[in-house]
Amino acid sequence: MTLDPRPYLRLASASPRRRELLTSIGVSVEVSPVDLDETPLPGEAPRDHVLRLARDKAVAGHAAGGPATLGADTVVVVDGRVLGKPRDAGHARSMLETLAGRSHEVMTGVAVQGPAGLLTRCVVSRVTLRDIPAAEMAAYWRTGEPLDKAGGYAIQGFGSVFVTHLEGSYSAVVGLPLCETAEILRRQAVPLWNLPVS
């Protein structure tokens, strides 16, 4: 597939996974990350948190004008608590110990600022991990993969061997719900592979 080299969408994120997902549906992207404090607000529900960050990224990225701008955020939620990215090996092990042998939620908020205004969606998926022995947790940390991943694992990488069940959107767990994102982009007149825009 050959994409038009002109960017139709600004991606307000440095995530290579989000860029790859957008490219996979034929969207020409200009990467322009924004730097925001991603700390949850006091008493902020996880769903509100991901939507707020997605909106703030889209609005901040679009402030300079130009193409429609997409912001997104993904969090892992267990027992109502947001698990961020691990600080070190001990923190990563603690996260996997919390997630192993049970189900958790992955929430991804997406927002696009463009001609149709600010459009948002939040997609919630449910992921179940098997029991993970301590030796496997240590070996997984040594791969380097968990370091920048919410919840300390990547469903699209080596961490896939821990996943026994997924309810919801695989691409949302990776970082961007493609079905819902495509719907928003069409409403913002951003062309996909060969689908007509609204």
Report the greatest alpha carbon distance in the chain: 52
- Evaluate the CA torsion angle 133, 92, 98, 96 in order and state its sign: negative
73 is catalytic: yes
Q: Which of 73, 79, 88, 148 is an active site residue?
A: 73
- Strand (E) or helix (H) holding 104: strand 103-114
| Distance of alpha carbon 38 from alpha carbon 40, whole angstroms | 6
Amino acid code (one letter) for 91? H
71-80 burial code (b ≥16 CB/10 A, e <16): bbbbbbbeee
Catalytic residues: 73
